[in-house]
Amino acid sequence: MTEERETPASTTSKLAIVIMAAGKGTRLKSRRPKVLHEIGGKSLLSHVIAAAREIVPPEHIYAVVGHQADKVKAAVASTGIRFVEQTEQRGTGHAIQAAREAIAGFENILVLSGDAPLIQPETLSALWHFHQAQQAAMTLTSAEPADPTGYGRVIHPEQPDPPHRATAVMNALLDQPQKLGAPSFSQPHREKGGRPQPSTSLVHPQPSSPEVVAIIEQKMLSPEQLPLREVNMGLYAFRTAPLLANLGTLDTNNPHGELYLTDMAHVLHAAGERVVAFLAPDADQLLGANTIAEMMALDANLRMASARRLMAAGVTIFRPETCVIDADVEVGPDTVIEPFVQLLGSTRIGSDCKIRSYTVVENCSVGNDVVLLQSCVMADSTVADGARLGPFTRLRPGCEIGEEVHMGNFVEAKKAKLHKGAKAGHLAYLGDAEIGEGTNIGAGVITCNYDGVHKHKTLIGNDAFIGSDSTLVAPVEVGDRAYIGAGSCITKDVPAGSLAVARAHQVTKEGWADSRRAHAAPNTSPAIDPNNVGFKA
């Protein structure tokens, strides 16, 4: 917890969080706004908001929205955060300009990207404390990935200077990067720093202080700057007064013609303000997603984190890299999860359960000692202790499966309540039905719940026996201990303790088949007279 939460009265105006979420996400090639793409079962923006809410109250969080703003707002409105409209998306600097009024009343802001969903509150809190301790006007979060390509590079005072802006833009546009870093402006600084740095080297000296003079975007790097490995991760803290005083000086002299928030490092430094870098303890948390492939890498990262969390809590997960487990899923100890299982949404699973491969459980609550055999597909339902389902059991929304219920192969249920010990072993459809304790549903039983217009209920009592291949035309009730003969089509209520058979009588003609065979001509297949086959009443 931060000081912000502990003493809200004295610091309510101290810190706000701005989440930049207006961008189009051109590189995704998607019609959906980037920040509404989902990983780990939640939108990118929802993940970021969840972290931000751990630091400040929701009314101090501002999401900058623009591209399909209404859709984005509607998707996260329930979080209680505020919104700022950036009608035209002219860059990250422009996004913060759009938030001018919103942030003016706060002493400091943290700026987050809506497309970096793995961020954890501890990191935000660490950045906030570092920013205050450094008394900086701007603190950017940096990291040193093995491959820095594509990121803005952090320039410290002893490192190659930012190239002259106009030259940089010209060269980037002409795609002649070799012209960028003329020795005339990088050489003297290297001598000053006393650390000669050959331009071919891939290692740069560790910054002696966190002080930063500029951030240079990939496309504007000089050859000397290309090897720099410390990159800007897109997470910042600003003191609002110097930010607002200088925000207007950003320009669009860059290959994208955008207003870059990253240029504030240079602008503030030039204005005599302190700009520092906070080297992130866990850079993986700050990874952003600009393409679908990057997003899927983050998804794998997030699901793996969920699997690790469960394993640390005593859950056995075989081949966890094949399982898809959402962030909010809970599983009790000693439950065993086989490869290729998906546990989604708000699913809760008890202890000592076995979940076999290819089972997909979404928003379900499952008790203890439950076995879900292979390929069960279950949504929005509850399953009580000791139940055994599958393989290929389908629970559609609204099912309540009681203790020790057994549901087997290809049994589909929807809004069905099965009481303790009920059994439906094979190939059944149970829709809008209630099935009493200990009742046995035979193979192929169907509750006919839909008359083409309305849905109707089937009620079956305790310890009843529904013979195989029976159809129960709802609305209909079958009493306790009643017995339905196989193949019946039940259209009327069946009282407790009685037998109901509703099918045509069997006709048996002894010797018929043999005599027909004997009369058939040799070497020809038996002719079938359609009038002489079948039943006569």
Distances (CA, A) of 462 to 184, 423, 493: 92, 11, 15
Residue with tokens 């002219």: 90
Write down the least CB distance from residue 262 to ligand UD1, Å: 4
Write down the least CB distance from residue 25 to ligand UD1, Å: 7
Active site residue 426: yes
92 binds, among ligand UD1, Ca ion, none (CB under 5 to 8 A by kind): ligand UD1
Under rule CB under 6 A, which residues in 216-245 are in contact with ligand UD1?
217, 231-234
Under rule CB under 6 A, which residues in 136-155 are in contact with ligand UD1?
151-152
CA–CA gap between residue 86 and residue 89 (Å, rounded): 6
- On whether the CB atoms of residues 526 and 506 are closer than 8 A, the answer is no
Q: Which of 129, 164, 189, 426 is catalytic?
A: 426
Closest CA to 204 of 296, 260, 253, 277: 277
The smaller minimum CB distance to ligand UD1, of residues 299 and 432, is found at 299
DSSP 63-132: EEE-TTHHHHHHHHGGG--EEEE-SS---HHHHHHHTHHHHTT-SEEEEEETT-TT--HHHHHHHHHHHH
The smaller minimum CB distance to ligand UD1, of residues 117 and 431, is found at 117
Q: Is 477 in the site for ligand UD1 (CB under 6 A)?
A: no
The smaller minimum CB distance to ligand UD1, of residues 86 and 470, is found at 86
Overall size of the chain counted in residues: 537
470 binds, among ligand UD1, Ca ion, none (CB under 5 to 8 A by kind): none
ω into 475 cis (within 30 of 0): yes
DSSP code for 343: E
323 binds, among ligand UD1, Ca ion, none (CB under 5 to 8 A by kind): none
The footprint of ligand UD1 on this chain (CB under 6 A) covers a number of residues equal to: 28
Write down the least CB distance from residue 18 to Ca ion, Å: 15
Q: Kindly compute the dihedral angle of the four CA atoms of residues 44, 49, 50, 56, in this order, to the nearest 10 degrees.
A: 160
User: In angstroms, what is the C-alpha Rg of the chain?
Assistant: 34
Q: Which stretch binds ligand UD1 (CB under 6 A): 18-26, 222-230, 487-495, 524-532?
A: 18-26
DSSP 140-163: EEEE--S--TTSPEEE-TTSPPPP
428 binds, among ligand UD1, Ca ion, none (CB under 5 to 8 A by kind): none
CA–CA gap between residue 195 and residue 352 (Å, rounded): 61
Site string for ligand UD1, 97-136 (x = CB under 6 A): ----------------xxx---------------------
Contact residues toward Ca ion (CB under 5 A) are: 115, 288, 290
**What angle do the packed helices 69-76 and 44-53 form, to 10 degrees?**
50
Q: Is 64 in the site for ligand UD1 (CB under 6 A)?
A: yes
The smaller minimum CB distance to ligand UD1, of residues 233 and 384, is found at 233
Closest CA to 485 of 460, 498, 468: 468
Question: Cβ of 420: how many Cβ atoms within 10 Å?
Answer: 16
Under rule CB under 6 A, which residues in 268-297 are in contact with ligand UD1?
288, 290
Binding residue (CB under 6 A) for ligand UD1 from 172, 261, 376, 428: 261
Under rule CB under 6 A, which residues in 297-316 are in contact with ligand UD1?
none
442 binds, among Ca ion, ligand UD1, none (CB under 5 to 8 A by kind): none
CA–CA gap between residue 194 and residue 157 (Å, rounded): 12
Query: Which parts of this chain interact with ligand UD1 (CB under 6 A)?
Result: 20-23, 64, 86, 89-92, 94-95, 113-115, 151-152, 215, 217, 231-234, 260-262, 288, 290
List the catalytic residues. 426
